Amino acid sequence: MDPVTVSVTIARPREEVFAYLGDIANHPEFTDHFLTDWRLTRVDSYGQGAGARFKVDAPLNRFSWADLTFVEFEPPHRIVERGRGGKFNRIRQVGVWTLTAGPGDTTDVELTLETEPRLPSDRVMELLAGRSWFKRKHRKALRRLRTILEEGRGRGHRATIAGG
């Protein structure tokens, strides 16, 4: 899938936004409307190496489990996450969170996601699920992130260790 980019401006300092996003256990709080059943892959959920496994509730998605791990962690401006999903985890995924300090104590948050399907059948499934669907869901997730950080409301459940 071609890269999908969504962004939002949050009225909080960049360091505070980065600290929240740098803890992968917080991600279900703002993505649980389309990413569910989050489980951490290690005890420490903050920083490079932190990871999680979850289900993607996309249309026509028969193989819904995916995972991601923070592979680059550059406080307070960049987090790169890599993962896999789909049948036999053969679809590679890359996400880049970029945080830029705005005027006053605001932070511009940009998320760019890209997938690399290996087989023609994987590409067809991505076309059916739709790039616009993923963009719409991630745009909503960033709006929810803004509400959580600015107003302190709308929090969902944090991820836990599998079986914990």
Tell which CATH classification among 1.20.120.1770, 3.40.1180.10, 3.30.530.20, 3.40.50.1100 matches the domain 4-161: 3.30.530.20
Which pLDDT does position 157 carry in this prediction? 78
Which pLDDT does position 74 carry in this prediction? 97
DSSP string, the chain: ---EEEEEEESS-HHHHHHHHTBGGGHHHHHTTTEEEEEESSS--BSTT-EEEEEE--TT-SS-EEEEEEEEEETTTEEEEEEEESGGG-EEEEEEEEEEE-STT-EEEEEEEEEE--SHHHHHHHHHH-HHHHHHHHHHHHHHHHHHHHHS----PPPEETT-
Which pLDDT does position 129 carry in this prediction? 63
Which pLDDT does position 152 carry in this prediction? 87
The CA-based dihedral angle spanning residues 100, 106, 110, 111, taken in that order and rounded to the nearest 10 degrees: 120
Dihedral-angle region of residue 130 (phi above 0 means left; psi in -120 to 50 means alpha; beta otherwise)? left
The residue extents of the domains of the chain are 4-161
Sequential pLDDT tens for the chain (164 residues): 679 999 999 999 999 999 999 999 999 999 999 999 999 999 999 999 999 999 988 766 777 899 999 999 999 999 999 999 887 788 899 999 999 999 999 999 999 999 887 777 666 666 666 678 889 999 999 999 999 999 988 787 788 776 55
**CA-closest candidate to residue 142, choices 112, 103, 114, 162:** 112
Cα 118 off chain centre by: 21
Which pLDDT does position 63 carry in this prediction? 76
